[in-house]
Structure 1
Amino acid sequence: MSSNTAARTARRRTLRVAAAALTAVAGLTLTACSGSDAAGTKAAGGTESGVNAAGVDATGSSAGSGSSADGAGSSGGTQASGATAGSGAKTGTKAEAADKQSGGSRAANGGGAGSGIERCHTSGLKASFATGGDAAPDPDAGGATTTSVVLTNKGSRTCKIGGFPGVDLTSENGGERWSLARSSAKHGSITLGPGDSTDFTINVAMTKEDQGFYQPAWAQITPPNETKSLTIKWPWGTLVDQRAATHPATFVNPIG
């Protein structure tokens, strides 16, 4: 190899080394810039993430309290105060729980005071026909007459009664039953103390005919909302047999 050729080869090697060195430096510079940018991105992202997290907490608290307030008034208020101060939330929650508990007690007491009187049950009542004075139905009234059934509270507690009793008339052997229809009269309720009485009327169509009649022997009285009945003897004469009639003249009126 000539000296010129060796010199040219040495220069090319020197240039390649220098180029490689420049490339490495550029790469390091780019890497450093890239790392700085990445760090900046992470830092910005961290800061942004932190803001978002704080925003979610704050927004979440207010949104939660807002939605709760919209949906459930007082509970939303408790959550809103809880979002403002944790101790306030605990105090408010305890106070709310106490209010609910006392409110429930008041409601229970109020219910007891206002509606705690139970209805009259069959076992606490006595039934009888009113038979004194003008209580007897007029056999000549042609259907426009009534008889009264008296219900007496024989128990030791006050009870409330109102509405339609069930009345079933039965024959002597019980084989022929007549469940009386009810009128369309309105009714309220009556409170009976121990020993107090109330009554209801039965419109009756009396007859003296020896055909087309029905002779009751017993009346079974079922107080309103009860399933057990009281059986009393029928004290009057015969009725027009209208057991199959759509609008019979013998029917029951309500208590109260």
Structure 2
Amino acid sequence: MSSSATVRTARRRTLRIAAAVLTAAAGLTLTACSGADATGAKPAGRVDSGAAAVESNGTGSSAGAQESDAQAGSGAKADAQADAKPDAKVGGTGKGSGSAQAGGGGGAGVQRCHTSGLKAAFATGGDAVPDPDASGGTTASIVLTNKGSSSCKIGGFPGVDLKSENGGERWSLARSSKAFSSITLQPGDSTDFTLNLAMTKEETGFYQPAYADVTPPNETTSLTVEWPWGTLVDQRGATHPGTFVNPIG
């Protein structure tokens, strides 16, 4: 082989080797890029998912724990709703209950006694008759009877106005300082109150009532009864008269 042929052969070997080296390098480069893309996408997706889980519950718990927490939250919400319904029901029942609104005021539906449902009369039998000779004063009783068909409640001071035969001279009696409470009258039941009386037999300085107008507590109309007794000491202008009204019961 001539020297020129030997040189060409050596040059072709050098070119093949260089080409092979370039090919191998190119293959390695492509493989590295492909691997980086695959391993870079998937872990990135998992990291994003994990970060989202941490932000959603603030504890970094797993998805299964999140589902459990969600179920627990739903259960708590359902329990809260269940607890709220009985409360609302009880409140509604309480609001519509007549006995609850009455609250110990003599029973459900018991109203106060009105003038139209009462009748009044002086008690005149036995010890009810006032003693005109009593030096320290005496008493008379006025009886109030429930003439209606339902129960009613009464208590406190009635108003009592004494008036003359022609009604021209009136005496609104003062009230005592005694304590009082209310009572319930069934149909036909009665209660009473007393009048302290300063009676007199003198021919002067007296007042002779003909009637007594009795106004039940908290009412504006009165019941008129005849005065069955004698004369009273006229103390219509006195600060502490001996004739005055006591409370019912």
Is residue 166 of structure 2 the alignment partner of residue 176 of structure 1?
A: no
Q: Which residue, 97, 102, 108 being the options, matches 2:93? A: 102
Q: Where does residue 196 of structure 1 map in the other structure? A: 189
- One-letter code aligned to 2:232: L
Separation in structure 2 between the aligned mates of residue 82 and residue 124 of structure 1, nearest angstrom: 63
Q: Distance in 2 between matches of 1:82 and 1:225?
A: 59
Asked if the contact 2:118/2:145 (under 8 Å) is kept, the reply is yes
CA-atom RMSD, angstroms?
2.6
The 2-side partners of 1:149 and 1:82 are apart by 72
Larger radius of gyration: 2
Task: Quote how far apart the aligned CAs of 1:113 are.
Answer: 7.8
The correspondence of residues 1-256 of structure 1 with structure 2, limited to 5 A, is 85-105=76-96, 107-112=97-102, 114-115=104-105, 116=108, 117-256=110-249
Gaps of 5+ in 2: 1-50, 59-71
SS where residue 231 of structure 1 aligns? strand
Instruction: Rate the CA distance shift 1:254–1:83 in 2: closer, same or farther, 3 A.
Output: farther
CA contact (8 A) 1:143 1:204 kept: no
CA 1:176–1:95: 2 relative to 1, 3 Å: same
CA contact (8 A) 1:164 1:255 kept: yes
- 1:77 maps to none
* Cα deviation, residue 84, structure 1: 7.7
CA distance 1:111–1:242, shift in 2 (3 Å): same
Number of corresponding residues: 182
Question: Tell me, which stretches of 5 or more residues in structure 1 are unaligned?
Answer: 1-46, 56-80
Distance 2:157 2:193 in 1: 9
Percent of matched pairs sharing the same residue: 66
1:98 maps to a residue whose letter is K
CA contact (8 A) 1:143 1:206 kept: no
CA separation of 1:83/1:241 partners in 2, compared to 1, >3 Å: closer, same or farther? farther
CA distance in 2 between partners of 1:82 and 1:223 (Å): 64
- The whole-number CA distance in structure 2 between the counterparts of 1:188 and 1:153 is 17
Q: Structure 2-normalised TM-score?
A: 0.66
Give the structure-1-normalised TM-score: 0.64
Which AA in structure 2 matches 1:247? H
